[in-house]
Structure 1
Amino acid sequence: MKKDYSPHEIIFRDKKRLEEEFEKFENFPPDLKTLKPWVILAGHYHNSRFRLSKRFPDIYENQKVKLITFVRDPLAHHLSMYKFGKKKGHDFVKGLSLSDYLKKDSNFLAATLECTLENYKSRIDGYFFAGIVEEYEESLRQLSNKLGKAMVEKIPFENQTNSNMLYESLSEEEINLFRESNKLDYLIYTYCLTKLQSNVV
């Protein structure tokens, strides 16, 4: 696996140094043509400066690359990110209550995957595989089958943030408001889930 994760403020606290690292990362993406067929390039492309199509301009048309993503229930994802951000001291949650944070970055998933209401189905269909975090074992089974590989015997679980208490602290109004503000994310998630379930044997 080759990592392609952008710099962040936890490592580079000085803003000038962070911007320098951003520019290095932005201007020197990996050359996809040099990657061996068995190499997995892994990264997060949620920062608007480093969207997948900005980093690799022909990525969605490149037939030699197999795009793989995993999506998660949008609210569960936000709760996990909030808890993770607070634990690590990230700027994106600094000074924000959970209620305030849930009002930020509406349709985060759609922005990250560069989806619109008009193209989200074709965008997801363009991926070699879209897994579901809540259906992790089944997702890995189907991905293994598509790759012609044996299913792993023991599935590792890392970076877990049990967010049940955060969910229980939300009011019905807050949950409904989040769902209303993230309609596109839920359409994407539901579409990916339906595709996965349609292949369950």
Structure 2
Amino acid sequence: MFYLFHHIPKTAGTSVRVALSKMFQVHEDYHKNISREEMERYVKDRINLSELTERDILCGHWNIIGGRLWEKYPEIDDVPVRKIAFFRPPLDTALSGVRFNVRNGHISDQRANEMLLKRVNYFATTLGCDSENYRQRIDSYWHVGLTSRVQDSMDFIADTISADRVKVARRNVTDPASVQFSDAAIAEFKERSKFDQEIYDYAASVANTAYDAIRQSAVENQ
């Protein structure tokens, strides 16, 4: 059995990965850039899952065509693994993603509205799910967390594996005021991302149920 962190970009993933590195042996499976050659190499360059143990955690975005988690590792639901993922509201995730790309010079701020709309239903695309199977896809994760409660999640993971708790430091944070978006673009994003909102709402319900159970267990064990 091993652990897997599905690092959905702009959901506090960098902060989580650094914290996880203090609990596990981290094996990174990230693509370095978006060139055709790199994508082809990345898709073919698989990590041997059978060699991972309960002290190992595999981390990656798995968010490119052909390299999504269930594409790169089609056997993932048939191996002993505890998958972890975090979610935040779709609009917040998308705005942060665009700001990140502007800050790092990948796009100009003049293209912010355009790039925002390219992130419509990003959760559905990354998870490779549709309206028929998104609940099943989310339920396949051992722990679904919320960005707003990341410390609670990390404490739970540490306690589960009998590791020291780790204070999660905020990393790779974007400034909300750094890029301006039009009201029209935001309204269009919300209208076209209703499915992602449905995915988030379900993930949040799963996460909050888990947080309630963790809190109740802590009370009972006092």
TM-score range, shorter-chain basis? 0.7 to 0.9
Is 2:116 the counterpart of 1:102? yes
More moved, 119-128 vs 131-140: 131-140
Q: Which has the higher strand share?
A: 2
Q: Equivalent residue for 1:85? A: 101
CA offsets 1:10-63 (integer angstroms, 9 cap, x no match):
xxxxxxxx433332222121010112221111001111121111110111232x
- Give the corresponding residue for 2:173: 160
The answer for the alignment partner of 2:148 in structure 1 is: 134
Amino acid at match of 1:59: I
Runs of 4+ in 1 over 4 A off after TM superposition: 145-150, 164-167
- Counterpart of 1:37? 54
TM-superposition CA deviations, 1:60-91 (whole Å, max 9, x none): 232x111111112111111111111112222x
Unaligned runs of 5+ in 1: 10-17
Q: How far apart, CA to CA, are the structure 2 residues paired with 1:166 and 1:190?
A: 27
TM-score, normalised with respect to structure 2: 0.75
User: Size of the alignment, in residue pairs?
Assistant: 187
> What is aligned with 1:14?
none
CA RMSD of aligned residues (A): 2.2
What secondary structure, in the 3-state scheme, does the structure 1 residue paired with 2:132 have? coil
The answer (yes or no) to whether the contact 2:96–2:176 under 8 Å persists in 1 is: yes
| Distance apart, 1:146 and its partner CA | 4.5
Structure 2, unpaired ranges of 5+: 1-25, 216-222
Q: Residue 139 of structure 1 contacts residue 196 of structure 1 at CA under 8 Å; is this kept in 2? A: no
Alpha-carbon distance between aligned partners in 2 of 1:127 and 1:49, rounded to the nearest angstrom = 21
Q: Does 2:201 match 1:190?
A: yes
Amino acid in structure 2 at the alignment position of 1:47: I
Q: Does 1:54 align with 2:54?
A: no
> Among the aligned pairs, what percent are the same residue?
29
